Amino acid sequence: MGIKGTRDDPRRLVVDVGEYVLLFSKPFDVPVYVEHGIDMGIAGSDVVEERSCDLFIPLELPFGKCRLSVITPKHHIVPIEAMEGYRVGTKYPTLAKKFFSSRGVNVEIIKLNGSVELAPKAGITDVLVDIVDTGRTLAANDLVEIEKITDVSALLLVNRIAQKVKFDRINEIIHRIKQVIEG
Amino acid sequence: MTKDLFSQSARFAYVSKTLRRVFDLWNYSEIFLSTVESHDHSLRDGLKIVFDNQVYLVKPDITSQLLFNMKTSDKRRLFYISEVLRNSISGRWQAGVEFIGGDGIQTHVEVLSILLTVFDALGLDEVFVDIGSLRLWREAVKEIEEYSSVIFESLRRRNFGMIEELPIDHRKKEELWELFNFRGQTGPYKKLNQVVQALSDHRVFVDLGTVRFYPYYDDLVFEVYSPKLGRPIGGGGEYRVGPLQACGFALDLNALIQLVKPVFEDDRTELKGNPETLYKEARRLIMKGKGVKIDP
């Protein structure tokens, strides 16, 4: 699209690029910023669904593709239906709870913020719900993927009010992004 | 802007007082609904609790609670100012009106007129109303019913790509695209045009991409917003109460107090002195409708 923002200092969180202002937030917070007034953002569908923010999602982007899955230690592989009462470690408590509820399985959700692969080794959880891409991190930690919950990809997010008051500008940006995607 | 309890309360009080005055001037009666309602699937939002082995909802959505409690279909003009809990312990204060039993577009024009007078009474500039129609969309997808859930999801997300991927006729996609992006003062739906024309206000737009998926909404829906605030201020729509047509809106007071600059007039009579005479005089003035300010 021709918008290039560089940070001379990685601690700098706001960068001006011509008529645009780029904000560098934690991925998990992008939907919240957009919901509360930032015009547009890019975040994974896992984060968007977990946060359940009130915003528009006009475009799925062709990167950041992975999946959210149920993961168990490789020495203790059980089906989902046998996980009644299990402790589930995850950065996605809402999605994890929804998944197990849909399968009629009651679990205890333990919210973690990162490096969730440690939790079964430390004995604080029985299974995990986390992002899987190549599976290498799982293998390195003696974990296996049992079942995919949902596919994940990057999404373009738009603030509901920005869509109205900057209608033409927002649509133009979406169109330009689509042109880049379609090559 | 300070945000302690007393400053916030002063702002809430200012807005609530103004809204009550406006609603009363329009001849609307205030309704007071129960804080706790027996759980029912028709009730939206609220906080679910269990008490004495029964399930209840604390502070549910007001419109759904009103519909739940209306035993007869009588013509009514009602307003409320109340807190609502959205499936959590964190509440939002709302003010709204419900006009039940109007004729034709009268219902919508009256309710939207009340909304516009609220903006004026609060001194709000740059507040707008976008009007859409659920019925228009239901008609548009009638021939392709099997794809209606995808089309409504695409509307909810404002993601036309989802419609583009559907195996439907190219002309149908163009028709849906026109509706998806329509924004102006007059559009293809006569009813919306009549409402906008009757209001004749530059703050009201037809935006056919505006939809509000509340189960009780029937046709006309609208959203209230300001470019000064990144979130909607409120919204409303048309619904039915038995055989009667109804229309209402709810405004988020937490959002309104961020936009309003209160004008605190102080024309009260200041009283000091001996408690025996001071309070007698205060009571006399108050019974005459005059405010007092007593120096402690």
Examine the domain organization and report whether A124 and A167 are in the same domain: no
pLDDT tens, position by position, B6-17: 888 989 999 999
pLDDT tens, position by position, B134-159: 999 999 999 999 999 999 999 999 99
Q: Is residue A25 part of a domain?
A: yes
* Count of the separate structural domains present in chain A: 2
Examine the domain organization and report whether A82 and A105 are in the same domain: yes
Task: Give the list of residues 6+ apart from residue B1 with CB closer than 8 angstroms, or none.
Answer: B7, B258
Chain B partners of A57 at a C-beta cutoff of 8 Å? 157-159
B279 pLDDT above the threshold of 70: yes
B1 pLDDT above the threshold of 70: no
Q: Which CATH number fits domain B1-127+226-265: 3.40.50.1370, 3.30.930.10, 3.50.50.60, 3.40.50.300?
A: 3.30.930.10
Examine the domain organization and report whether A146 and A71 are in the same domain: yes
A37, A56, A167 ranked by CB distance to B157: nearest: A56
Examine the domain organization and report whether A72 and A130 are in the same domain: yes
Q: Do B158 and A58 touch (CB under 8 A)?
A: yes
pLDDT tens, position by position, A70-109: 999 999 999 999 999 999 999 999 999 999 999 999 999 9
pLDDT tens, position by position, A125-177: 999 999 999 999 999 999 999 999 999 999 999 999 999 999 899 999 999 99
Q: Is residue A5 part of a domain?
A: no
Check residue A10 and give its pLDDT.
Answer: 82
Chain A partners of B226 at a C-beta cutoff of 8 Å? 161
Chain B partners of A60 at a C-beta cutoff of 8 Å? 159, 161
Interface test with A, best of B231, B233, B259 (most A CBs within 10 A): B231
Minimal Cα–Cα distance from B143 to chain A, Å?
Answer: 25
Report the Cα–Cα distance between both ends of chain B, in Å, rounded.
Answer: 27
Task: For residue B104, name the pLDDT band (cuts at 50, 70, 90).
Answer: confident
Q: Is residue A160 part of a domain?
A: yes
Check residue B2 and give its pLDDT.
Answer: 66
Q: Do A160 and B225 touch (CB under 8 A)?
A: yes
B128, B158, B231 ranked by CB distance to A163: nearest: B158
Q: Stretch B50-68: mean pLDDT, rounded?
A: 93
Chain B partners of A58 at a C-beta cutoff of 8 Å? 157-161
A35, A57, A164 ranked by CB distance to B159: nearest: A57
Examine the domain organization and report whether A105 and A47 are in the same domain: no
Is A158's Cβ below 8 Å from some Cβ in B? yes
Q: The CATH number of the domain where A21 resides is what?
A: 3.40.190.10
Examine the domain organization and report whether A165 and A175 are in the same domain: yes
Range of the domain at A112: 66-150
- Looking at every residue in chain B, the average pLDDT score rounds to 92
Is A35's Cβ below 8 Å from some Cβ in B? yes
Provide the CB-side half-sphere exposure for A99 (13 A, CA): 25
Minimal Cα–Cα distance from A62 to chain B, Å?
Answer: 13
Examine the domain organization and report whether A128 and A87 are in the same domain: yes
SS3 for chain B is: CCCCHHHHHHHHHHHHHHHHHHHHHCCCEECCCCCEEECCCCCCCEEEEEECCEEEEECCCHHHHHHHHCCCCCCEEEEEEEEEEECCCCEEEEEEEEEECCCCCHHHHHHHHHHHHHHHHCCCCCCEEEEEEHHHHHHHCHHHHHHHHHHHHHHHHCCCHHHHCCCCCHHHHHHHHHHHHCEECCCCCHHHHHHHHHHCCCCEEEECCCCCCCCCEEEEEEEEECCCCCCCCEEEEEEEECCEEEEEEEEEHHHHHHHCCCCCCCCCEEECCCHHHHHHHHHHHHHCCCCEEECC
Q: A92 near A50, Cβ under 8 Å?
A: yes
Q: Stretch B161-189: mean pLDDT, rounded?
A: 92
Q: B14 near B264, Cβ under 8 Å?
A: yes
Task: For residue B185, name the pLDDT band (cuts at 50, 70, 90).
Answer: confident
Check residue A12 and give its pLDDT.
Answer: 86
Chain A partners of B128 at a C-beta cutoff of 8 Å? 164
Examine the domain organization and report whether A133 and A79 are in the same domain: yes
Interface test with B, best of A161, A168, A173, A177 (most B CBs within 10 A): A161
Examine the domain organization and report whether A73 and A110 are in the same domain: yes
Chain A partners of B227 at a C-beta cutoff of 8 Å? 161, 165
Q: Is residue A7 part of a domain?
A: no
Produce one character per residue of A106-137: b if its CB has 16 or more CB atoms within 10 Å, e if not: ebebbebeeebbebbeeeebbbbbbbbeeeeb
Examine the domain organization and report whether A102 and A139 are in the same domain: yes
Task: For residue A8, name the pLDDT band (cuts at 50, 70, 90).
Answer: confident
Examine the domain organization and report whether A47 and A121 are in the same domain: no
Going from the C-alpha of B157 to that of each of B76, B135, B154, B211, the distances in angstroms are 35, 19, 5, 10
Q: Is residue A4 part of a domain?
A: no
Q: Stretch B255-279: mean pLDDT, rounded?
A: 87
pLDDT tens, position by position, A26-60: 999 999 999 999 999 999 999 999 998 999 999 99
Q: Stretch B112-131: mean pLDDT, rounded?
A: 95
Q: Where are the domains of chain B?
A: 1-127+226-265, 134-203, 268-296
B213 pLDDT above the threshold of 90: no
Q: Which of residues 231-290 of B touch A (CB under 8 A)?
A: 231-232
Check residue A110 and give its pLDDT.
Answer: 96
Q: Do B230 and A36 touch (CB under 8 A)?
A: yes
Q: Stretch B161-177: mean pLDDT, rounded?
A: 93
Examine the domain organization and report whether A70 and A59 are in the same domain: no
Check residue B147 and give its pLDDT.
Answer: 95
Q: Is residue A105 part of a domain?
A: yes
